[in-house]
Amino acid sequence: MAYVQTAPGVLPGMIEEDARAVDQAVSVVIPAYNEAAHVAAQIQAVRDVMELTGWNFEIIVVDDGSVDGTAQRAVETGVRVLRNRRNRGYGASLKRGIAAAGYGWILITDADGTYPPAAIPELLAAAAEADMVVGARVGPNVAIPASRRPAKWVLGKLASYLAGRKLPDINSGLRLMRRDLVERYVHLLPSGFSFTTTITLASTCNDYQVEYVPIDYLARLGSSKIRPRHAYEFLLLIIRTIIYFNPLKVFLPFGALLGLVGLVKFVYDVYMDNLSETVVLMFLGALIVWAVGLMADQNARIAMNQAGVHGAGSQAGPRR
């Protein structure tokens, strides 16, 4: 089962007659921070699966300033290892690995054992009809900590509303992407855990073809790097990204809320025969918010047209 998002006018499941040929070569990028106990096993698991797919591939491990010998364990497996001299963050490590990649497709996964390598072939199989294939953590075996589920649910619902379509998983760390898609938005992609959320929203808001493949999510090996403060950071990121691409989704409801409050206060003031300046301020506030939203939307459209942003049909050839 897969959730498919397509460009306007294209129904889910439709296959265009001029379906793009897929260059079956992929760069697998694995960021790792203090994963010495698990990184070698994860690399081998990915390699074993990739060798069965028929795709040409390379594996790039980006050691993010680990102090436990992660880089050395990765080197011993024979894959290419890039080392950050200090801990720069999940997103920064991904960007460095993607910049060094030799192929037009990028597959990212983690070194902590949470994402099953067995799901990779299904992501690769969906590449012909997508610019990005996300492993959505909605399978029968999903071990997301209970403490993180409420925030994940709220953020997912908010992101889906603001993006205007259902997003089964906004920040999965197992996904296949065209390299040129990442490069188009690299200036927006943060250095922290919000990398995946940002690329999901950027792709969705600009009508790229994004397909979701249900996967399991296993219990983490070792300690998690996610902290409670990251939920707040994700919330701000979602709002900021949507304002960047589709500002009316934020400004129109906020202006409507001010207008509604002003209307309620107006009715109350009429009933009390005492019209207050609060009503005027609320209505003016609503108009100002709407005006700012319209200008922001116009600027966003101009910026996207100048950048040549488009949805379906992007191409990414191999680079060696």
User: Which CATH number does the domain housing residue 234 bear?
Assistant: 3.90.550.10
Q: Is residue 52 assigned to a domain?
A: yes
Strand, coil or helix: what is 134? strand
Average pLDDT over residues 267-284: 85
Given this model, what pLDDT does residue 8 score? 37
pLDDT digits (tens, 9 = 90+) for 46-78: 999 999 999 999 999 999 999 999 999 999 999
Please provide residue 25's backbone torsions phi and psi, each rounded to the nearest 5 degrees.
-145, 130
31 by Cβ neighbours in 10 Å (0-12 / 13-18 / 19+) ranks as buried
259 and 225 co-located in one domain:
no
68 and 120 co-located in one domain:
yes
- Domain stops at, among 211, 245, 279: 245
The residue type of 66 is: S
191 and 127 co-located in one domain:
yes
82 and 129 co-located in one domain:
yes
Rounded to 10 deg, the angle between the 248-272 and 149-163 helix axes is 90
Whether residue 123 contacts residue 175, with contact meaning beta carbons closer than 8 Å, is answered with yes
- At residue 268 the predicted structure's pLDDT band, cuts being 50, 70 and 90, is confident
261 and 139 co-located in one domain:
no
- Domain stops at, among 196, 211, 245: 245
Number of domains in the chain: 2
40 and 164 co-located in one domain:
yes
Expressed as residue numbers, the domain containing 171 is 3-10+24-245
Q: Strands of 25-32's sheet, edge to edge?
A: 3-5, 210-214, 132-136, 175-178, 105-108, 25-32, 56-64, 80-84
The whole-model pTM stands at: 0.71
pLDDT digits (tens, 9 = 90+) for 148-199: 667 677 777 877 877 778 899 988 999 999 999 999 999 888 888 789 988 9
